[in-house]
Amino acid sequence: MTTPEAETKNLVVWEIESTHPSLAEPLKTALRDVVDPEIGMEIIQLGLVRNVTVDDQKATITMILTTPFCPYGPAMLEMTRQRAEKALSMPTTIKMGTEMWDFSYMEDGAGADWGLYY
């Protein structure tokens, strides 16, 4: 789910932020522990988590990878699932998104680590 302001910068607003706002920030904090080992940045900084939904006390995280054949992808997906389950205290599944990752998905200021300025 996106807002008009977010769409212009490719930022997303997770569905959980409006349906279960008390869970959104603890989840985001927990997922900051998941780092892409090749890049050395958090999945939240990179904008890899594209949506989080909760339905019937089960969470679904829609996530993408920086490259389609990322060798660390399976480990990052599993680590994301485990951290989310712990933070949310509910079963969590990971759904792979279909969009290709882009530098514009990064959090404001995160691109400076790569010498990028958005």
Number of domains in the chain: 1
Cα distance between residue 25 and residue 27, in whole Å: 5
Residue 113 in domain: no
16 Cα distance to chain centroid: 12
- pLDDT for the residue 75: 95
Amino acid found at 79 = M
Count how many residues are written for the chain.
Answer: 118
Q: Please state the pTM of the whole predicted model.
A: 0.84
Cβ(5)–Cβ(65) under 8 Å?
no
Question: Measuring CA to CA, how many Å separate 106 from each of 27, 43, 50, 81?
Answer: 18, 9, 11, 21
Q: Is residue 43 part of a domain?
A: yes
Q: Please tell me the predicted confidence (pLDDT) of residue 30.
A: 98
Instruction: Report residues of the chain scoring pLDDT below 50.
Output: 1-8, 117-118
pLDDT of residue 11: 67
The answer to whether 66 and 82 have CB atoms below 8 angstroms apart is no
Closest C-alpha among 3, 59, 55 to residue 31:
59
> Each residue of 49-70: pLDDT tens digit?
999 999 999 999 999 999 988 8
Q: What's 77's domain CATH number?
A: 3.30.300.130
94 is in which domain, residue-wise? 4-108
| Assigned domain for 115 exists | no
Give the helix/strand (H/E) hosting 63. Answer: strand 58-63
pLDDT of the residue at 12: 81
